[in-house]
Amino acid sequence: MCSFDAVHTYSIFKRLAFIVGPLVCILFLLIPGHVFSETLDPVIAVAFWMIIWWISEAVSISVTALLPLALFPLLGVMDIKDVSGNYANPIVFLFFGGFVIALALEKVNLHKRIALSILKLTGTKANGIIFGFMLSTALMSMWISNTASTVVMLPIAVSVIRLLMNDEDGFTKNDRNFALSIMLGIAFGANIGGMATLIGTPPNSVMLAFLNENYQIDIGFFQWMKLGVPLAAIMLTITYFLITRVFYRNGLGNIAASGNIIDNELKKLGPLSKGEKVVLVVFLLTALAWVLRGSLNTWFPNLGLTDTTISMIAALAMFIVPLNFKLGRFPLRWQDTEILPWGILILFGGGLALASGLTQAGFIDAIGDFISQQKDWSVWVITAVLIVLMLFMTELMSNVALVTILVPLVVGIAIGLDSPILQMVIPVTLAASCAFMLPMATPPNAIVFASGHVKVHQMARIGVVLNIISILLLITVAYYMVPLLF
């Protein structure tokens, strides 16, 4: 996604888009008669405004997501109660709980300890170190934001790279390739890891919320992991192989001093604190509950556990399980939530409100009717085209906004082709996380690019190959894995 701005400037393009967005909406509403229908026209007008602002980021994408709250009641699309209900969707709270868990992991530094422990296990050989950074970042990105996981790993990586810059033979070509490989490995590992869980990256939750709200389709946390974890593992392995064996071979052997850096960082953390132990227990119990949710509901029929309920119990526990009851110390205080990405939660709500408006006004039915009349269109060709469209567009704009815009369209196409909705929607949604080509495509890409060890052409060179491999993998997922698991 492109919400990460390396330079905070308000360009001519953004200024123009700021004016064009509402202008297009107004002009569309002023067209005599009806372009589509009386109910659909106002929703399409607001959609144009939102899409223009989302693509250009003329204002924050979260601010754009508030437009339905103001405009839908005024235009008679739906009343304020119905619109606002989208901003309190259960999936919004599932993600809120995930954010709180991640916040607790970060506050007690447990995420850093886990990352360093994995690095220690992967050894001191150059390629082993690269794999360690990739694996650590990917595992963290399953549970915390890919931006946070990248920020945690970057200073550790820089310390290892400095060893090579200051050694007796200087910073050789092999050293530079090693530095480049670590940086690319961190960025790509962060992007890939997010695909593995429903809370790993916002597009997954946006898709689930839309399907849940409009089609009563529920995907369990563990059910998603049965698809997401193998896919992420395969993608991570391929990426590691391409980085270290094909594109940027480093020819380095053992970097013994790197082990000292990792040991020193672990020593700085000291023994496991009480806060870390409490957060770790809550985190593990939450993950276990997500995995066993189906069995728990079978054993205790009146329990009615959902992934959102589990997430909220975990979030509550982070605020009320005492570390020192006498002093009133808990893992988190409410003040800690000031750094929670509230804008993402609003973005979910705005996307759901827009999708709900489009659904109620008949947009998806219209798309489905049109597609059903195209008798010679192949399901698999259409799926492949949508995957390619999503994957390359996400290099240039926010993947959350993109999924919000395209998922209702994909559902309409699936209905029109009489194809299972999940078989088309899941791979297209996953494509939004496969942005490997450009620094501005995702925050992890931008962060490692800012380190100075990665050039645009170096990222693009391997990124375009990874994009093509992602397309082939996602088509395979659509054809084989989705029907098997869903």
The model's confidence at residue 319, banded by pLDDT at 50, 70 and 90, is very high
Q: What integer is the mean pLDDT of 90-113?
A: 83
Distance separating alpha carbons of residues 49 and 51, to the nearest angstrom? 6
Q: Is 12 exposed, middle or buried (0-12, 13-18, 19+ CB in 10 A)?
A: exposed
* Per-domain residue ranges of the chain: 1-64, 91-339
Identify each DSSP E strand in 201-281 by its residue range.
none
Task: Give per-residue pLDDT as tens, 415-472.
Answer: 888 888 999 999 999 998 888 887 777 778 877 887 778 888 888 889 989 999 999 9
Cβ distance 129 to 119 under 8 Å?
yes
- The secondary structure of 463-484 as a DSSP string is HHHHHHHHHHHHHHIIIIIHHH
Average pLDDT for the chain: 84
* pLDDT score for 375: 66
328: part of which helix (H) or strand (E)? none
Cβ distance 232 to 259 under 8 Å?
no
Distance separating alpha carbons of residues 313 and 321, to the nearest angstrom? 11
Distance separating alpha carbons of residues 161 and 174, to the nearest angstrom? 12
Global pTM?
0.75
Tokens representing 140 are: 């963290």
Cβ distance 101 to 315 under 8 Å?
yes
Tokens representing 459 are: 């990222």
The model's confidence at residue 1, banded by pLDDT at 50, 70 and 90, is very low
